[in-house]
């Protein structure tokens, strides 16, 4: 049995060793967080943060996080870390958020920025790579944003992902994988997943990147001088698949059949100019180059948002390349305090009810010195 425990521990150590943790923040070292997080000074009216575990919590120290403190304000704060590229790797972004003020209108999302972010000047126009997390406003907006930046455009996930709206701490995790799959998790459960290719609004990227056929090149080919050029023929036998969805898959095009390169003296006689193409045929694989899940220079994480009522607490930030590490981190933090947090909230709620009842009784005893019996007799006599 002891040997089994040793083996299990060895596997755990290996698991941690294989994971790359780019950023992790739990606010467990008092006021030292101020050395890591930079408050933007772009606007003197920006709201201020403090580190607090709130009015109720599962553990007073472990549940401390960045808390918004002023109503009706914009907020902007960020932390920097060693820049990295997630090319060819899984990217996991995870954190907890608690709207203990029962959010009526405001953001609870985070942003991941390029390494060249000007932290002191962070504002709503600062470029970001990823925006992820809950956004609540009135009855209409109760959603989880998943926005990715590419080629100077922001692309939103076109699915409606609902967020939590109560006052407890919730765990949010976004997973982007090299195979272009993704997963959005809330409280450890997958609430949305699929393909980045199909679940984001990529219509602007669906156009085939082509270089127009050059008449001069065509003439050279006709003269038998294009030995290094390839010629392509449309596959006349091809037909559109029955399950092809033009809305999701784009316009269907027949595949191109490729012949060996021209040889000296071989002329493309009988080949129609519109069929002989010198193009970059990328329609079926455009995301190999236009990969929205890859970011070359990730180097900062932050909060840039608006809140009508303050009080939200952000905690347990994590950026890693390992899904299992993220799950274990969640269990060791949010997983251990979520239960006690609800228990404390229930105790406080009972105390508030008791206090309110005592205040009502005190009020009644002041107005009716004879106590409750006098109160009842008074109203009974009134009714008669």
Question: b vs e for 150-183, b when ≥16 Cβ sit within 10 Å of the residue's Cβ?
Answer: beeeebebebeeebbeebebbbbbbbbbeebbbb
With tokens 């998943």, the residue in question is 146
Q: Is 183 annotated as a binding residue?
A: no
Q: Is 304 annotated as a binding residue?
A: yes
92-96-132-144 Cα dihedral, nearest 10 degrees: 120
How many Å from the N-terminal Cα to the C-terminal Cα in the chain? Answer: 81
Cα–Cα distance, 119 to 47 (Å, whole number):
15
Structure tokens at 147: 């926005």
Q: Is 140 annotated as a binding residue?
A: no
In which element (H, E) is residue 380 found? helix 372-383
CA distances from 146 to 135, 139, 161, 379 (A): 11, 20, 9, 60
Using alpha carbons only, what angle is made at residue 71 by residues 67 and 72, rounded to the nearest 5 degrees?
120
Q: Is 249 annotated as a binding residue?
A: no
Q: Is 198 annotated as a binding residue?
A: no
- Binding site, annotated residues: 109, 111, 128, 135, 304
Residues at the binding site for an alpha-D-glucoside are: 109, 111, 128, 135, 304
């Amino acid at each position: 049995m002891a040997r089994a425990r040793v083996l299990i521990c060895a596997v755990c150590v290996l698991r941690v060793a294989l994971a790359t943790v780019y950023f992790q923040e739990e606010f467990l070292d008092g006021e030292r967080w101020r050395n890591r997080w930079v408050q933007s000074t772009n606007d003197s009216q920006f709201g201020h943060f403090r580190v607090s575990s709130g009015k109720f919590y599962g553990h007073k120290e472990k549940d401390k996080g960045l808390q918004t403190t002023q109503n009706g304000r914009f907020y902007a704060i960020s932390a920097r870390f060693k820049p990295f590229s997630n090319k060819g790797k899984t990217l996991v972004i995870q954190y907890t958020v608690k709207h203990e003020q029962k959010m009526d209108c405001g953001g609870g999302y985070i942003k991941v920025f390029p390494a060249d972010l000007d932290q002191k000047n962070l504002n709503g126009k600062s470029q970001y790579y990823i925006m992820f997390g809950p956004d609540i406003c009135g009855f209409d907006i109760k959603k989880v944003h998943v926005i990715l930046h590419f080629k100077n455009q922001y692309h939103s996930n076109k699915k409606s992902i609902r967020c939590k709206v109560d006052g407890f701490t919730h765990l949010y995790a976004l997973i982007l994988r090299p195979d272009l799959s993704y997963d959005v998790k809330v409280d450890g459960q997958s609430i949305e997943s699929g393909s980045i290719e199909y679940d984001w609004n990529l219509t602007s990227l669906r156009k085939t990147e082509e270089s127009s056929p050059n008449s001069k090149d065509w003439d050279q080919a006709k003269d038998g001088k294009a030995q290094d050029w390839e010629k392509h023929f449309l596959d006349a036998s091809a037909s559109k698949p029955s399950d092809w969805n033009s809305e999701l898959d784009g316009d269907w095009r027949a595949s191109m059949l490729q012949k060996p390169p021209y040889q000296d003296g071989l002329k493309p006689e009988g080949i129609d100019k519109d069929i002989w193409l010198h193009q970059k045929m990328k329609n079926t694989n455009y995301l190999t180059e236009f990969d929205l899940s890859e970011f070359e220079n990730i180097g900062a994480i932050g909060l840039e948002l608006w809140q009508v009522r303050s009080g939200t607490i952000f905690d347990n930030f994590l950026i890693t390349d390992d899904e299992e590490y993220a799950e274990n981190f969640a269990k060791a933090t949010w997983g251990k305090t979520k239960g006690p947090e609800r228990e404390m909230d229930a105790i406080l709620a009972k105390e508030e009810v008791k206090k309110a009842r005592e205040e009502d009784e005190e009020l009644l005893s002041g107005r009716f010195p004879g106590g409750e019996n006098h109160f009842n007799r008074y109203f009974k006599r009134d009714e008669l």
